[in-house]
Each structure stands twice: as structure tokens, then as C-alpha cells.
Amino acid sequence: MNTAGTLYVVATPIGNLEDITLRAIRVLKEVDLIAAEDTRHSQKLLQRYGISTKMIPFHQHNQAHQTNRLVKHLSKGESIALICDAGTPLISDPGQTLVAASQEGGISVVPVPGASALTCSLSAFGIPVENTIFAGFLPAKKTDRLARLKQLRSHQGSIVFYEAPHRIVRVLKDMRVVFGDGCEACIAREMTKIHEEIRRDTLAGLDNWVMSLASNQKGEFVIAVVSSGLPPDDNQEQIDHMLNVLMDEMSASKSAEVASRLGRVSRNKLYRRALQLKDNRSDK
């Protein structure tokens, strides 16, 4: 007979404290321990709803040690709630080691769904979601970031990123290099908070908006790019140059058809890129 406890993976608000579920409040009150990414941050939420359950820190710097400790508690029959600073645990937040160890140990893992910046933003962007991938945070180093973006541009559909305020300017400029100025994109800033903003534009437009005011560079960001699906190993500059030269003499559709014959890129992908370049021309 399995006498182990249960690990609850509990989503918490991403900003507005009213966005917690009734079930989450009940679970946080009933468990023996709460493993929190930042206990000082989470204390505000617990105080708001009269939750007095003991918290222990569980973050990226101590998760290896704490995982062993928490699995022992679970094996003894205690129940634990895993929470992060905001949103759903494991979505670009620590917790994977604990959930994996619990699964491997036969311990029941129960998700308690709720707020997520990912789904919250997608619901308000109005872009295609049928073929969406989540890329999380991009690398901090520019060369690594550009390499990652070039890998991702082969995806045909929406790509969602998280980004911190101190890197938002650099990231948008790198995205313009890889995906093109005319690529359709969206930004959500400070979701569910007082200064929440959601914008949909081209990458060039969003970059200009972020640069227009210092306040536009503050807060946590969700960025979505609608990628046309250009292969990662093709030279973007050469493709763009070829399409621009062809469009001096013929339509975007015909240019894509000719360019497709000259390379290994599909006509449909080249046509979408040609339309982006044509839009860029009209803006100048």
C-alpha cells in the first residue's frame, strides 16, 4: 500500500492577487509544507488569504539539495505544494527536478491549474495558436541568442518568449535581424498589473515603441513572433537580397517562384518573406 503524500503543483497569480483559484487557496491551507521560489515574495499572497502553512525555499540554486529533502517528506506521507513567484511552476521556473523525482518515486503529482503568462498573453494577442511553440528565455549572450533565434526561425507558426526588462531592447533588435523588420509580432508587458500593456505590430514597430519611452522598457515581457518558417541554415541576408532584386522586375509572387527554383526553400515560405520585404519598402 502506497502511503506517500502528494506533491501539488500550484499556479499562483502573475500580478493581480485576485487571480488565484479557490482550489489553490484550499490546497495551500491543507498541505504540510509549501515549497516556494521566494518565500518573502510568496508571503504577501499567503497573508492576503490567511494561509499559515510553513514555507521553505525552493529555487534554482538549492533545488538539487531541496529535492532530496522534500522527497523524503513526501515518502513519509506528508503533502507539499510547489509554487513559484508568479504563474505556473516549471514554465521557465524551477521545479522540474522535484516533479521528476516524485514521478520516479511513485509519488502522486497533482497539478492545480491557474494563471500563466504564456496562455494569458496568447489569449489577448489574436495571433494563430494552432502551431505555437514556447521558447522561454533567450540566452543572455548575444552570439548565443542570435544562434538560438536562427534555429527557431525554421518554425512556421507563432513562437512565444519571456524576457526581462534589462534585455528587452537588445532582444528586439536581434529578432529584427533574424526574422525581419516586417515580421508580425506582439508584446505583453506587466500582465494583470496596474501598468499592463498589450501591443501588436511588426517587430520594427514594437522596437520603436519600446525605444520611445523609458517606461516602455520596464516590467516583465512576453513576446510572440509569427514566423514564416525560413530554414535556419540559409543565409537570411542572401535570401532577402535575392528577393529584393527580383521584386525590382516582377511581382512578389513571381519573385518567390523564381527564388524557389534557385534554392531549396519552398515557394510559400519565400512568398511570405517577399510580402514582408515589400511592406518594409512601402514604409520607407
Neighbouring-strand partners of residue 81:
8, 34
What gap in Å lies between CA 62 and CA 203, rounded to an integer?
Answer: 38
* In the predicted structure, residue 29 carries a pLDDT above the cut 60: yes
The pLDDT of 156-160, averaged and rounded, is 95
* In the predicted structure, residue 234 carries a pLDDT above the cut 70: no
Greatest C-alpha distance within the chain? 77
Sequence ranges of the domains in the chain: 6-115, 118-228, 236-283
The domain 6-115 is placed in CATH, from the list 3.40.47.10, 3.40.50.620, 3.40.1010.10, 3.30.465.10, at 3.40.1010.10
Instruction: Write down the H helix ranges in 153-219.
Output: 168-179, 203-212
The pLDDT tens digits of the residues spanning 162-191 come to 999 999 999 999 999 888 888 999 999 999
- Backbone φ, ψ for residue 75 (5° rounding): -65, -25
Whole-prediction pTM value? 0.80
* In the predicted structure, residue 2 carries a pLDDT above the cut 70: no
Residue 154: per-residue pLDDT: 87
Domain boundaries 118-228, corresponding CATH code: 3.30.950.10
Average pLDDT, the chain: 92
Length of the chain: 284
